[in-house]
């Protein structure tokens, strides 16, 4: 039974209908003299703006590449159609893999359906060096290692299935195959309390995100620069590094993915590189911001290779440096201790953004902003007095607010009192 997605006349719904009509035409007219000839998709993808069309536009997809993408999804839309074609009178599909009465296409299947005159273009489109593989839109599955290249099964990626079958932008979930999590925030810039210096340093990152396309158009300028942008956020925990990364993504419409490097470093030789490779391979060719947290856990000062462990640790740093250098998007790294970072690594950043511990004026603003909620505050609370308490970051003050509201519920009070705040500060200080 046909399961063409009902996506309000989406581009993919039109494309899959064109392909199914083409297959039905082959079934009806096939003979020994008949040779299938693909006449092209009817819809101009440049006239659409859904997630599937966005991928085709971004990758400047050719007709053969577009056909391969749609054909790879046929088993999801009409599982039996290729199997029925293969069992039609006189038809012998070249290639494919029969499983549970369905047929998964391979390169030979595509050549048969489009026409042998397109074999060179199809082979090029399926190449590991081609557009589709580089963009991570399809994968090859080999049934037997010695099988010819064009016999490899063509499988759609999770991203391709998301944008076509569900008409949704792809957001990978944290898993062993993608050890990173999407970073979002409900905060706005006006909720942040940043020093003048921090704001000035952040402007360099904002300028890149605003004007990178215009910069790329100046070929005589851009060819002298490495692609991508790298910035280091440094400062104590709780000073707004992660929130700032999330807000940059929110401001510029970029997905931000957080990688906790302290969780990724493996005691097993080679595993750290494998984990990092998974992230970069998925993130390539996408407008994502990669946010590496706890960067000093892997980017601490390199040691002399006096042992095998030191050599492998240095090898991990070198691998990540190489991938960061070659990444064409934006990479933000966060560390609590700038002094711990390798000097050679620091030179690779276009921006260094400082997030210092808030001083009294910033603490006063933080107390006022964070406690400005629908929950009443007792008149006895003096924000200036609270701001005199040293070593209180924005994250710690937010934790105090949570502590106070829960205490208010427990005590069945109607407002936050000075005692609740004092107890909350003491509780926070006890964690240091």
Query: How far apart (Å, rounded) are the C-alpha atoms in residues 194 and 199?
Result: 6
pLDDT at 1: 43
Same-domain pairing of 154 and 190: no
Same-domain pairing of 112 and 30: yes
Asked whether residue 174 is domain-assigned, the answer is no
**Under a CB-based contact definition with an 8 Å cutoff, are residues 249 and 187 in contact?**
no
Asked whether residue 172 is domain-assigned, the answer is no
Domain boundary among 313, 335, 354: 354
pLDDT at 418: 97
Same-domain pairing of 220 and 269: yes
Same-domain pairing of 201 and 244: yes
Same-domain pairing of 259 and 330: yes
pLDDT at 268: 54
At residue 210, φ and ψ (nearest 5 deg) are -80, -35
Query: How far apart (Å, rounded) are the C-alpha atoms in residues 110 and 94?
Result: 9
Same-domain pairing of 22 and 132: yes
Same-domain pairing of 218 and 338: yes
Q: Residue 38 is part of which domain span?
A: 11-165
Query: Which residues touch 279 (CB under 8 Å, ≥6 apart)?
Result: 178, 179, 180, 257, 259, 290
Same-domain pairing of 332 and 185: yes
Same-domain pairing of 104 and 228: no
pLDDT at 89: 57
Pairing type for strands 138-141 and 153-156 reads antiparallel
Asked whether residue 26 is domain-assigned, the answer is yes
What's the pTM? 0.79
Tell me the Ramachandran region of residue 297: left when phi exceeds 0, alpha when psi lies from -120 to 50, beta otherwise: alpha
Report CA-CA distances (Å) from 318 to 263, 276, 282, 314, 322: 18, 12, 20, 6, 6
Same-domain pairing of 337 and 411: no
Number of domains comprising the chain: 3
Asked whether residue 42 is domain-assigned, the answer is yes
Same-domain pairing of 227 and 275: yes
- Tens-of-pLDDT digits for all 432 residues of the chain? 445 455 557 899 999 999 999 999 988 888 777 788 999 999 999 999 888 999 999 889 999 999 999 999 998 888 788 877 777 756 666 566 656 556 889 999 999 999 999 999 999 999 989 999 988 899 998 877 788 899 899 999 988 999 998 888 888 888 877 888 999 999 999 999 999 999 999 999 999 999 998 988 888 988 888 888 999 999 999 999 999 999 999 999 999 999 877 777 665 556 777 778 888 888 877 889 999 988 877 766 554 545 455 555 567 677 778 888 888 899 999 988 777 676 767 778 899 999 999 999 999 999 999 999 999 999 999 999 999 999 999 999 999 999 999 999 999 999 999 999 999 999 999 987
Same-domain pairing of 278 and 379: no
Asked whether residue 85 is domain-assigned, the answer is yes
Ranges of H-type helices in 257-393: 261-264, 271-283, 296-299, 308-326, 343-346, 360-370, 383-387
Asked whether residue 279 is domain-assigned, the answer is yes
163: its two tokens: 């944008």
4: its two tokens: 């063409």
Report CA-CA distances (Å) from 347 to 225, 317, 325, 329: 14, 14, 11, 18
User: For the chain, how far is it from start to end, CA to CA, in angstroms?
Assistant: 63
Query: How far apart (Å, rounded) are the C-alpha atoms in residues 250 and 247?
Result: 5
């Amino acid at each position: 039974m046909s399961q063409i997605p009902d996506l309000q006349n989406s581009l993919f719904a039109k494309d899959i209908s064109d392909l199914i009509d083409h297959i039905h035409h082959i079934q009806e007219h096939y003979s020994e003299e008949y040779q299938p000839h693909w006449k092209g998709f009817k819809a101009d993808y440049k006239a659409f703006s859904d997630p599937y069309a966005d991928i085709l536009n971004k990758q400047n997809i050719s007709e053969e590449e577009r056909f391969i993408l749609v054909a790879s999804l046929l088993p999801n839309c009409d599982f039996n159609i290729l199997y029925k074609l293969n069992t039609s009178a006189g038809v012998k599909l070249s290639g494919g893999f029969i499983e549970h009465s369905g047929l998964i296409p391979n390169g030979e299947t595509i050549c048969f359906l489009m026409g042998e005159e397109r074999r060179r273009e199809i082979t090029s489109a399926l190449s590991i060096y081609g557009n589709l593989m580089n963009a991570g839109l399809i994968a090859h599955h080999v049934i037997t290692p010695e099988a010819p290249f064009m016999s490899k099964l063509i499988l759609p990626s999770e991203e391709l299935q998301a944008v076509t079958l569900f008409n949704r932008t792809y957001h990978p979930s944290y898993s062993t195959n993608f050890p990173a999590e999407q970073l979002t925030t409900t905060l706005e810039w006006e909720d942040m309390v940043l020093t003048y210096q921090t704001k000035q340093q952040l402007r360099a990152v904002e300028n890149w995100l605003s004007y990178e396309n215009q910069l790329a158009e100046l070929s005589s300028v851009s060819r002298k620069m490495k692609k991508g942008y790298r910035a280091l956020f440094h400062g104590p925990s709780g000073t707004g590094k992660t929130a700032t990364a999330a807000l940059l993504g929110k401001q510029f419409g970029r997905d931000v993915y957080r990688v906790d490097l302290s969780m990724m470093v493996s005691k097993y030789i080679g595993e750290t590189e494998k984990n990092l490779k998974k992230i970069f391979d998925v993130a390539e060719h996408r407008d994502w911001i990669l946010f590496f947290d706890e960067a000093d856990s892997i980017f601490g000062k390199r040691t002399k290779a006096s042992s095998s462990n030191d050599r492998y640790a240095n090898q991990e740093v070198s691998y990540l440096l190489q991938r960061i250098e070659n990444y064409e998007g934006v990479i933000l790294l966060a560390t609590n201790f700038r002094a711990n970072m390798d000097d050679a690594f620091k030179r690779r950043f276009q921006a260094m953004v400082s997030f210092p511990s808030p001083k009294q004026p910033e603490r006063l603003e933080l107390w006022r902003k964070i406690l400005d909620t629908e929950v009443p505050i007792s008149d006895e609370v003096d924000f200036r007095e609270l701001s005199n308490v040293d070593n209180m970051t924005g994250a710690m003050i937010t934790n105090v607010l949570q502590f106070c509201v829960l205490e208010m519920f427990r005590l069945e009070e109607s407002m936050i009192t000075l005692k609740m705040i004092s107890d909350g500060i003491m509780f926070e200080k006890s964690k240091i």
